Amino acid sequence: MPGAMVWSHVGLNCADQKTTEEFYTRHFGFTRARVVDLGEARIVFLRKGDAYLELFAAGAEPARTAHEDGPPAPGRIRHLAFQTDSVDAFLAELGDAAEVTLGPLDFDDFICGWRTVWVRDPDGVIVEVSQGFEDDRSHEKDGA
């Protein structure tokens, strides 16, 4: 039996790796972990905690995404998601560096203080940023 399964990374195709790297390092706190030189191309790994983004150079054709929270088609990543203490502070710092595609929306009917916004990264990938999300622990038994 293999060892424990752990999260590794998400690979993103980028029209301009430098622009995408700057977006995720500046606005989401990632740092460069490694660059793999393939001769005519390179792969850039960004890290934040245990999460990695793997950036690949791609053609100039933008990602085919729907507006709002991402593409609904099977087999496509809908969006990347991050948590923050304040969606409003994130948006203030983000400024015009990314298009807001949906929100911010409040989900207080589900979780008091849950607020979310969706933005488009430089390559068209939808990125969700939320505050206040919590797991539902009602199914856990006392003392378990």
pLDDT tens profile 75-90: 567 789 899 999 999 9
Same domain, 125 and 81: yes
Q: Which amino acid is at 4?
A: A
**Euclidean distance between CA atoms 44 and 55, whole angstroms:** 5
Same domain, 42 and 21: yes
Global pTM exceeds 0.85:
no
Place of tokens 């934040």: 48
Place of tokens 């969706």: 118
Place of tokens 């087999």: 75
Same domain, 72 and 130: yes
How much is the pLDDT for 137?
76
86 is written with which tokens? Answer: 């304040």
In a domain, 143, yes or no: no
pLDDT band at 115 (very low <50, low <70, confident <90, very high): very high
